[in-house]
Amino acid sequence: MDYGSLGFQALAAIIKIAFMILGFLMPLASILTWMERRQSSMMQDRLGPNRANIPLPWKINGKQANWRMWGITHFMADALKFLFKEDYVPSKAHKFLFMWAPIMAMAPALIVAAIIPFGPPLCWGELLQKGAACNQPVPLQIARLDIGLLFYFAIASLSVYGATLAGWASHNKWSMMGGLRASSQMMSYEVTMGMAVLGSFLVFGTLEPGAIADAQTHILSLGSYHTSWGIFTQPLGFILFLTAAIAETKRTPFDIPEGEPEIIGYFVEYSGLRFGMFFLGEFLEIVTSSAIMITLFFGGWHWGTWLDNTLQAHLPNVFFVVVMFALWTMKVFAFCAFQLLIRWSLPRFRSDQLMRLGWQRLLPISIANVVATALIILWAQA
Amino acid sequence: MAVGVKVVNRPGSLAQQAYLPAIAEGLGVTFRHFVKNFFGNVSGMRKKTDIVTIEYPEETKKYPPRNRGLHRLMLRDDGQVRCVACMMCPTVCPAHCITIVPEEAPDGRIEKRPKIFEIDELRCVVCGLCAEACPCDAIRMDTLDHAKPTTRRADGILDKEELMSRGTTSTAVQGGVGAFWREKVEGVPQTPPAGDVFPAGPPTGPVPVTREPGKGT
C-alpha cells in the first residue's frame, strides 16, 4: 500500500491507537494498581499482596501447581471483583451524570496518549534495513499535532469535570466537597503546570512533543544546550512540572479531593466497575503524565547519541524500533515507580497549605523560571 | 472578640521552606528500605531483609515458652492419669469449663480418679487458674498450642483421652501412693498391687522417674 495515501495513514493511526491503549496504557496502569501495593509494602518492611495465582492443571509434589508470579495476577482478581460487585446508584443522584462521570474522569487520560512519541520512526517498506536512511518513516506517535502540548493541557484539564461531576451528581455532601476541592486544586495547579512548561517551549522552540523528543539527542551537551535532555536545561521547570503533575493526579501528598481521613472523596458513592474506572483513571494519569515528563525532560525515546546511533547502525529497523520502545517503556516504568515512591513517602498537605503552595510559591517561581530562561536564551543567542 | 487568632510563626531556612532537601531525605529512607527488601526477597535471602511478615499458612510463629495454651493432663509413671479428682480446678475455673466426674480408684493406692474429665475449650478463658490450683501437677497449659477451630461446638470439648494424649510424666513428687499403709479402710484392698513401679510401704522420698527418650518432662 502506498505510504502517502490517506487510507494507509488512517490504518496506521488505528493500529497505533489500539497498540497504545491495549498494549501499553491499560496493561501498565493495571500492573501499577498491584505494584503500588507491593512497592509500598516493601518500603514499609511488609510483603504485600503475593497470593493471587492461576492454578495450573497439574501437580508438583502432590500440591496443586499454580502460576503465582509474585502475586501479579492480583490486578485481574481486583477487576473480576469489581465486575461482580453491586453497581449502586443513590436514589437522589443525577443518574445520567452519575453514570458518565467515571468515563469523563478516565477518558482524558487515554486521549492524552495520542501526542506521546513512543519510539523512533518505523521505516515502512525497509523494515529490515540498517542505518538511519529512511524513505517512508511512520512516526511512532498517534497524532503529530503542531499545538502538541496545548492539546495535552486542554484534554488533561477536562478530567476535572469527571471528578467535579461525580461529586455533584452523587447527591452527597462529602462527595460534593470532594468535587469542589478537586476542581479548585486542579485549576490552581494547571496554571503552574503551564508556566513550568513554558521554559521548555523557549528552549526547544516548538510545542510538538515528537519534535521536542527528537531535539534531545544528547543526554548532556554543553556546546548546544538545546540538544541535551530537558532536565539539564530546565531543572527547576522539571521540579515544578513534577509537583503540578502529581497534584493533577490527585494523589498523596496532594490528595485533598480524596482525603480518606476527613471526606472520603468525590467517588464516595461509587462502587463496582464505576469506582474501578476512577481508580484505573488515576493510574492512567500517572502513566501519561510520566510519559509527558519523559518527553519533555528525559529525551523521549532517546538514550544519547552513542546508544541511539550504535543500535540504529547494527540492528534492522524493526528490531531497532522494538528495542527503543522497550527502553522507553523502562523509562516510563521507572518514572511511575518514582511517583509511587513519592506517594508512599510524603505526608499530605492541608487544603489551605495546598492552595498557598500552589499560588504563593510555585506560581511565582514558575514565572521567574520563564523570565530567567528567556533572558538566558537571549544572552546565549546574542 | 469571640475568637482569638494565634499567629504561629514558623521560621526556617530557605532549604526548610522549600521542602526539597527533606523530601529527598525521606525518599532516600523509603527507597533504601525498598531496595533492601525487594532484592533480598527476589534473591531468596528473606533473612537478610527487614520484612517482618509471617506468611501464615506456611509459616507459623512459635509461642513463647511461658504461653498458656491448650490443656493437657499429666501422667503417672505407669501411664495412668495423675489427676486425683480433687475438684480444685472446676471449683476455681471462672468460666466453668471443666467437668469432672470422679470415681473410686480401683487399685486402692489412690482414693479417687476422674471417670470423666472434660474441658470445653470454647468456654475456656485461658486464665491458667486451673493449672495453678492443681495440687498434684496433673493439669497443665504448656502445650504451646491453641484450641483448634472446629465446625461443631461439640468438637471443642476435649475428653480425658484427648487431654492425656499430650500428657507426659512429671518431675513433681508423685503423691497418692495409696491407703494401704493407713488404718484399715473398708472396701480398700490392703495389699499393695503387684508390680515393681511402687515400693510397698510409705513413700520415702521422691520416686525416681523413668523417662523415655524423646519425651519431655
Say if B38 is an interface residue toward chain A (CB within 8 Å).
yes
- DSSP assignment of A332-379 equals HHHHHHHHHHHHTTSPPPPHHHHHHIIIIIIHHHHHHHHHHHHHHHHH
CATH number of B72-165: 3.30.70.3270
**Residues of chain B positioned with their CB less than 8 A from the CB of A346:** 23, 26
User: What's the Cα-to-Cα distance from A206 to each of A154, A193, A202, A211, A345, rounded to whole Å?
Assistant: 17, 17, 8, 7, 35
Distance CA A148, CA A344 (A): 32
Interface residues on A facing B, Cβ-Cβ cutoff 8 A: 39, 42-47, 239, 341-342, 344-346
Locate A293 and state its grid cell: 515528563
The residue written with cell numbers 525518599 in the block is B27
CA-nearest of A235, A164, A153, A232 to A189 is A153
Of A227, A273, A240, A297, the closest CA to residue A86 belongs to A273
In a domain, A68, yes or no: yes
Residue B55 near chain A (CB below 8 Å):
yes
Q: pLDDT tens digits, residue range A55-68?
A: 888 888 888 888 88
Residue A311 is assigned to a structural domain of this protein: yes
Task: Output the nine-digit C-alpha cell for B151.
Answer: 465446625
User: Residues A382, A374: contact at Cβ < 8 Å?
Assistant: no
A33: left (phi over 0), alpha (psi -120 to 50) or beta: alpha
Least confident of A26-40, A106-120, B164-178: B164-178
Residue A308 has pLDDT above 90, yes or no: no
Residue A2, domain member (yes or no) = no
The shortest CB-CB distance from B30 to any of A46, A47, A345 is to: A345
Low-confidence stretches of chain B (pLDDT beneath 70): 1, 108-109, 173-217
- Which chain A residues are within 8 Å of B20, Cβ to Cβ? 239
Which residue among A45, A46, A345 places its CB closest to the CB of B27? A345
| Rounded Cα distance, B32 and A345, in Å | 12
Range from A13-17, A71-75, B182-186 carrying the lowest mean pLDDT: B182-186
Which pLDDT score is estimated for B100?
94
What does the pLDDT read at residue A1?
Answer: 54
Q: Of A103-107, A118-122, B37-41, B176-180, where does mean pLDDT reach its minimum?
A: B176-180
What is the pLDDT at residue B140? 92
| Cα separations in angstroms, A74 against A23, A30, A71 | 19, 9, 6
Are residues B30 and A239, on separate chains, in Cβ contact within 8 Å? no
pLDDT tens digits along A224-272: 777 889 899 899 999 999 999 998 888 888 888 887 778 888 888 898 8
Region A304-330 average pLDDT: 89
Provide the domain count of chain A. 1
What confidence score (pLDDT) does residue A371 get?
Answer: 95
> Burial letters for A245-269: b for 16+ Cβ neighbours within 10 Å, e otherwise?
bbbbbbbbbbbbbbbeeebebbbbb
Domain residue limits at A363: 13-381
A186 found inside a domain: yes
Cis peptide bond N-terminal to A90, omega within 30: no
Query: B32 — phi, psi (to 5°)?
Result: -60, -45
Question: Buried (b) or exposed (e) across A94-112, using 16+ Cβ within 10 A?
Answer: beeebebbbebbbbbbbbb
Q: Examine residue A6 and state whether it is found in any structural domain, yes or no.
A: no
Q: Do B23 and A46 touch (CB under 8 A)?
A: no
Do the domain assignments include residue A281? yes
Buried residues in A70-89 as b, exposed as e (16+ CB within 10 A) = bbbbbbebbeeebeeeeeeb
Nearest Cα neighbor of A250 from A103, A115, A354 is A354
pLDDT at B213: 58
Q: B51 and A43: CB-CB below 8 Å?
A: no
Cβ–Cβ under 8 Å, residues A125 and A318? no
